[in-house]
Structure 1
Amino acid sequence: MLATSALQRLSLDLATSMASMGLYSGEFGKPELIEKPTREAEQLFQGFAKAKPSKEDAYAAARTFVRGQPLDPWQRDLVASAVAEPIREQAGALALASRQFPALLASYEAEAKRGELWRLTWHGLLYSYFHFDLDRGRDDSTHAGWEALRAFLERTWPLIDRQADKDLIPEWICVLRQETEVLTLRPVEKYSRAYLRGETEATDRLATDLGIPPSSWFWHSLVLGAVHRAAAEVDAEFRRHIPQLIKLIQNRPGFRDEAVEVILIRYHACDGAPPDEMLRDFVCQPNIWKNPKLKAAGIATAWNRVPDPVWRMALGWVNERNLKDFFDILAARNNADEGRLAFWSKYMKQISWTRLVFGADTMALKRTNTGVRELIAREEGAYAQLTSKPEVDAFMMQLGPYLIIEFSKKPNACYVYQADQLPFEPYSRHYEGGSSDLGAGYRDGCALRIVHRDGWASRAEQELRQLGIIPDAAGPRRVAADSASDMTASTGRMAGVGNRSGANATNSTAGGPDMARLKAVVDQFRGASINDRRKSSNGGRLWIEDPLQRAQLATELKALGFKWANSREAWYYPET
């Protein structure tokens, strides 16, 4: 009893003492009582370690600087985080493009060497470095200012690193200690390699702790760096990387079109260029490049970015899928294939255009049938509808100078019309489906009428031969030009919308490319440079270096005969 009483008194005294210290609500010995305040203090410190001044104050300081007015000591630190911000009142001018910017950087560097540069000022410059808008770097002064900023950060980083406290180190400093490549002339090489291996952890942490925005030049360079790296591989390796490249583009869509352009052009160069379902389905989505059939209607204008043979390759993929879907999904509902899929597949390489025409029953099925719903979604903006035959669908396909109409259900025949003498408008949104339009050949006005009775296939093949439509020859599958010279010429002609240089065809001399034309091309891309080592004592090649790895420059260099060197991340002219 005595021991119990003593224990009770001891517990009461302990409770009283804890209450007097404000700890009564907690449990003695719980580490959370220390850990939680410690975490909160750490978070507070990390927040202060990369704090930025108000945007309004920083913008006002940058505006003063651009106007050439002197900065007070406080503004001098504020302006660091806004040197890449366009000043509206000064026609979008940037502080880093001004004549006084080198002097500002020199003063910052002098302070850094003395150990007096405020760490948050340096962090503000790092912020500006990553927030620079690539599209504003087209003129010499802007690009030179941004490059001067990068070089400043690379030079002064060791000084800032040495000033860091040994106990409380900001997260962004810890990250930079591991990822100093982001301040070099090749800031994304390491990360583009990792992305192709499916390793994104380092890049994700880098983006979070350094505050890299989705619109940053960093992602532009990373995405295109990974794409160019994959494109430099042999066909099998390049095609193996396509799923990872698509994933990368989906996660970083800001520079999607340039990346898709490079991938499609490279895929066209693969031996045979067999259809890639994942690439086809990704590129043809309504929110990506849309159905390539819509290019002629001026709706899917992104397809103008690639040479015509590349567009025709993708169009061929879509045409093949449409043909298969029509007979597998639509005609199969009525048991009306009769070998038509196999028959028309023999002419697949010649099909230059297709269009699906859905009846009311099919349109209603999209609510319950997944296959039909996906088919209609893929053809959004390209399909038409039948108004008088709800149970019937139709399929249009062009082979050479002829347009062929197949129906999904008997007793409808197949009609072959001359494409320049159609009794209907091929791009109409609605058709009656009978003799007034699609079935006008039942009475007259068609080149051939195919009735699907026993033995129809052999008869149809002979009749089509008389029209000059002959089954595809056996051999490697190519939708577009077969020869390298055809591809080079087409690439030159179709070097993309907005070709800055006019370098639209391969133009070289016996000793290499036309240097005047080459200089005109490269000069349009600020930061790109020509490194001609052919006359050095040790020999060498003609190199073109572009740290930003722009797709448009890549297209134009390939048109001039240049090849990509994966090891040097640069373009070279192959000597014969």
Structure 2
Amino acid sequence: MQLGTDALARLKTALDRKLAAFRSDYTGLGQPALVEKASDQARRAFQEYASARPSAHDAYASALAFLRGQELDESQRDTLASALNQPVAERRGTRPIGSDRLAALLGYYQDEAAAGTLWRLTWFGLLVSYFSYDPLSAQENEHNGWLSLRQLLVTTWPYIDNASGKATVPEWLAALRRHPALISETAADEFADRYIAGDRTTLDLIVESVGIPESSWFWHALVLSAVKSSVSYADERFVAQIPRLIALIKSRPVFRDEALETLLERYCRIPGHPVHHELRDYVVGKDVWRNPKLKAAGIATAWNRVPDTVWRMVLQWVNEGNLRDFFDVLAARNSADEGRLAFWSRYMQQISWTRLIFSSETVLLARSNREIRELIAREVGAYATLYGNKNIDAFIMQIGEYIIVEFSTTGNAAYVYDSATLQFDRYSPTYHGGTEDLRYGFRAGARCRIIHNAGWQSSAAYELGRLGIRPDDDAKQSRLPRHVSVETRPEKTPPRSGPGGPTSASPTAPSRVAAQAPFSMAALEAEVEQYIGAYIDDRRQATGGRLWVEDPQQDMALGRQLRAWGFKWANSRSAWYYAG
């Protein structure tokens, strides 16, 4: 209901007369129906009056005068209270809530409330402005104004509440008495569980009485509260709510990053945290957090919001998805799987990085093939293209210190390269796909070449095992304990040489970090623990592998110490490895 200032005064006078007439009218005695009807009419009239807003014309005129710097009279200040978030066209859409004059105006309202002279309808107007703040359309400086408005409401609410007494009060005031947190930082928390369950009964009553528009910040805060509330659920119940929570985040995205941070950290605490496809596909979207593989390149910086364990969880999901997509969608298109998906799936937990390389034919097929289109969309910013062959796709994966290249068509071997001596740029946007880059190991330089003849899996597993790459279950059992000091490693036989020098596939590789090492594992662990996000990845095994130190922050002090101990930097992996 919108009224001009004069109309409000006339309504109040008419209402007072009507109530007085009703009290003096005894003719209704003995007729309950008439008494109830008259009482309802009086109650509705009271609520209309007690929740009335100034006319839109008067409110806009006051907002315009305020932004023009004009001095306002008492009536204009009353009408302006409900229009603090009103965009004013004559001032290029700016709002009073962002004005540098706002502090003085709010000070006036506070003084009036403390003196007991602030009209209750004016305070209600301030409440209307509070809930009408739209963070999606607000300008940067308006957020601070909104926070100041909330503080004003918190400060002046006791005055309004006490002055209203225990008699009949407006519905909005009664709602605030029942739910005082509505004007606090936790405004939506108490409604979160019901909101997740789809129960809006109580909420709708509050929305109607207080006046919360669909564009209000409140709905975005409610989504964040719902996500935070879900953290306390048992695993099964929490997982069951994820699709609804994602839908809510999509519909109210202001606190999207905070909500995703909470969701991902909670999911990571689930034992084994199996792939959640819907959560993965949403968070890695090009308009959300993007592919976690892009974090190291400084592109997908949102991944810095979560601990390294969470990032690695989603990275593993993406790597697994890439592997399955490559063989299920791309290689299967050419009937070239030959059991490769099942074979490489045995090493899934050790795959630390993947990259898809699409042929020009595949890119064109994306127009008509939904699966390929979705696959390319998920890899935006991370995939490369192949220009040397129209119909061959490639898949690059990293296991330990080795880079493995697979192809999507029959007649193409897989190549295993040492990442430290890799002869092509693993981050290149394009490749030829021949012996110039991906298949240079056909001539020389590959640690091994896997030819997919009948029964190739056995020979491939043997060759990988010689490099220290074993299936996940075997690797877990054979991995040396992290606490073993490098000085105590027994030296067996001198390391044999390969194209890139001593090979980590040699049975004697651990001896390279033996007695002469200038540090102990205890000292190394104590040093690394000082740096946030840094950790040790000990991949030494009886048949090879290196001692790595990962430092996502690339701290200079840690780098100096590691270099002094004989570590070297591997550009291919962006990590330190012991080269003693």
TM-score (normalised: structure 2)? 0.64
2:165, 2:458 → 1: CA distance? Answer: 80
Q: Which residue of 1 aligns with 2:532?
A: 493
2:277, 2:529 → 1: CA distance? Answer: 25
Choose which of 104, 110, 129 in structure 2 pairs with 1:105.
Answer: 110
| 1:203 CA drift (Å) | 4.5
Asked if the contact 1:352–1:398 (Cα under 8 Å) also holds between the matched residues in 2, the reply is yes
Q: Does 1:297 align with 2:297?
A: yes
Q: Which residue of 2 aligns with 1:152?
A: 156
| 1:173 CA drift (Å) | 7.8
RMSD (CA atoms): 4.2
1:330, 1:241 → 2: CA distance? Answer: 33
Choose which of 57, 60, 66 in structure 2 pairs with 1:61.
Answer: 66
| 1:221 CA drift (Å) | 3.2
Unaligned runs of 5+ in 1: 1-41, 477-481, 496-503, 505-576
| 1:101 CA drift (Å) | 4.0
1:494, 1:395 → 2: CA distance? Answer: 29
| 1:90 CA drift (Å) | 12
Q: Which residue of 1 aligns with 2:363?
A: 363
| 1:467 CA drift (Å) | 1.2
1:301-340 matches, within 5 Å, as 301-340=301-340
1:444, 1:270 → 2: CA distance? Answer: 45
| 1:117 CA drift (Å) | 2.0
1:205, 1:447 → 2: CA distance? Answer: 70
Q: Does 1:122 align with 2:117?
A: no
Asked if the contact 1:58–1:81 (Cα under 8 Å) also holds between the matched residues in 2, the reply is no
Cα shift readout 1:347-372 (whole Å, capped 9, x = no counterpart) = 11111111111112212211222211
Q: Does 1:272 align with 2:277?
A: no
Moved more, 156-165 or 405-414: 156-165
1:491, 1:200 → 2: CA distance? Answer: 49
Q: Which residue of 2 aligns with 1:432?
A: 432
Q: Does the C-alpha gap of structure 1 residues 208 and 432 become closer, same or farther in structure 2, counting only changes over 3 Å? A: farther
1:58 is matched by which residue type in structure 2? Answer: A
3-state SS of paired residue (1:473): helix
1:209-288 matches, within 5 Å, as 212=212, 216-288=216-288
Q: Which residue of 1 aligns with 2:32?
A: none
Unaligned runs of 5+ in 2: 1-44, 477-481, 483-524, 535-552, 554-580
1:322 is matched by which residue type in structure 2? Answer: N
Asked if the contact 1:358–1:386 (Cα under 8 Å) also holds between the matched residues in 2, the reply is yes
Q: Does the C-alpha gap of structure 1 residues 212 and 288 become closer, same or farther in structure 2, counting only changes over 3 Å? A: farther
TM-score (normalised: structure 1)? 0.64
2:189, 2:257 → 1: CA distance? Answer: 21
3-state SS of paired residue (1:493): coil
Q: Which residue of 2 aligns with 1:194?
A: 194
Q: Which residue of 2 aligns with 1:76?
A: 77
2:55, 2:475 → 1: CA distance? Answer: 64
3-state SS of paired residue (1:282): helix
| 1:403 CA drift (Å) | 0.9
Q: Does the C-alpha gap of structure 1 residues 440 and 361 become closer, same or farther in structure 2, counting only changes over 3 Å? A: same
Cα shift readout 1:26-76 (whole Å, capped 9, x = no counterpart) = xxxxxxxxxxxxxxxx9xx899746454446326437869xxxx7522233
Identity %: 44
2:134, 2:442 → 1: CA distance? Answer: 62
Q: Which residue of 2 aligns with 1:516?
A: none
Asked if the contact 1:188–1:221 (Cα under 8 Å) also holds between the matched residues in 2, the reply is yes
1:80, 1:349 → 2: CA distance? Answer: 60
Cα shift readout 1:237-271 (whole Å, capped 9, x = no counterpart) = 22122112111111111110111011111111111
Asked if the contact 1:154–1:184 (Cα under 8 Å) also holds between the matched residues in 2, the reply is no
Q: Does the C-alpha gap of structure 1 residues 301 and 226 become closer, same or farther in structure 2, counting only changes over 3 Å? A: same
Asked if the contact 1:96–1:146 (Cα under 8 Å) also holds between the matched residues in 2, the reply is no
2:530, 2:187 → 1: CA distance? Answer: 30
Asked if the contact 1:387–1:433 (Cα under 8 Å) also holds between the matched residues in 2, the reply is yes
3-state SS of paired residue (2:397): strand
3-state SS of paired residue (1:352): strand
Q: Does the C-alpha gap of structure 1 residues 63 and 265 become closer, same or farther in structure 2, counting only changes over 3 Å? A: farther
Moved more, 207-216 or 316-325: 207-216
3-state SS of paired residue (1:358): strand
2:267, 2:143 → 1: CA distance? Answer: 30
2:248, 2:531 → 1: CA distance? Answer: 28
2:128 is matched by which residue type in structure 1? Answer: Y
Of structures 1 and 2, the one scoring higher in RCO (CA 8 A, sep 6+) is 1
| 1:147 CA drift (Å) | 2.6
| 1:158 CA drift (Å) | 8.2
Q: Which residue of 2 aligns with 1:418?
A: 418
2:206, 2:381 → 1: CA distance? Answer: 41
1:208, 1:83 → 2: CA distance? Answer: 20
Q: Which residue of 1 aligns with 2:380?
A: 380
Q: Does the C-alpha gap of structure 1 residues 257 and 122 become closer, same or farther in structure 2, counting only changes over 3 Å? A: same
3-state SS of paired residue (2:222): helix
1:266 is matched by which residue type in structure 2? Answer: R
2:68, 2:415 → 1: CA distance? Answer: 70
Q: Which residue of 1 aligns with 2:573?
A: none
Q: Does the C-alpha gap of structure 1 residues 51 and 354 become closer, same or farther in structure 2, counting only changes over 3 Å? A: farther
Cα shift readout 1:72-121 (whole Å, capped 9, x = no counterpart) = 222331442366899999996666655x8456334246557xxx8262x2
1:94, 1:131 → 2: CA distance? Answer: 20
Asked if the contact 2:220–2:255 (Cα under 8 Å) also holds between the matched residues in 1, the reply is yes
Q: Does the C-alpha gap of structure 1 residues 468 and 305 become closer, same or farther in structure 2, counting only changes over 3 Å? A: same
Q: Does the C-alpha gap of structure 1 residues 264 and 245 become closer, same or farther in structure 2, counting only changes over 3 Å? A: same
Q: Does 1:399 align with 2:410?
A: no
1:418-497 matches, within 5 Å, as 418-473=418-473, 493=532
2:268, 2:530 → 1: CA distance? Answer: 11
1:104, 1:374 → 2: CA distance? Answer: 55
Asked if the contact 2:67–2:96 (Cα under 8 Å) also holds between the matched residues in 1, the reply is no
1:146, 1:97 → 2: CA distance? Answer: 12
Cα shift readout 1:500-551 (whole Å, capped 9, x = no counterpart) = xxxx9xxxxxxxxxxxxxxxxxxxxxxxxxxxxxxxxxxxxxxxxxxxxxxx
Asked if the contact 1:303–1:311 (Cα under 8 Å) also holds between the matched residues in 2, the reply is yes
Q: How many residues align?
A: 431
Moved more, 218-227 or 142-151: 142-151
Cα shift readout 1:210-229 (whole Å, capped 9, x = no counterpart) = 56467755245322221111
1:413, 1:363 → 2: CA distance? Answer: 23
1:122, 1:94 → 2: CA distance? Answer: 21
Q: Does the C-alpha gap of structure 1 residues 231 and 490 become closer, same or farther in structure 2, counting only changes over 3 Å? A: farther
Asked if the contact 1:85–1:95 (Cα under 8 Å) also holds between the matched residues in 2, the reply is no
1:12-51 matches, within 5 Å, as 49=53, 51=55
Cα shift readout 1:297-354 (whole Å, capped 9, x = no counterpart) = 2222211111111111101101101100111111112221111111111111111111
2:153 is matched by which residue type in structure 1? Answer: L
| 1:381 CA drift (Å) | 1.8
| 1:417 CA drift (Å) | 1.1
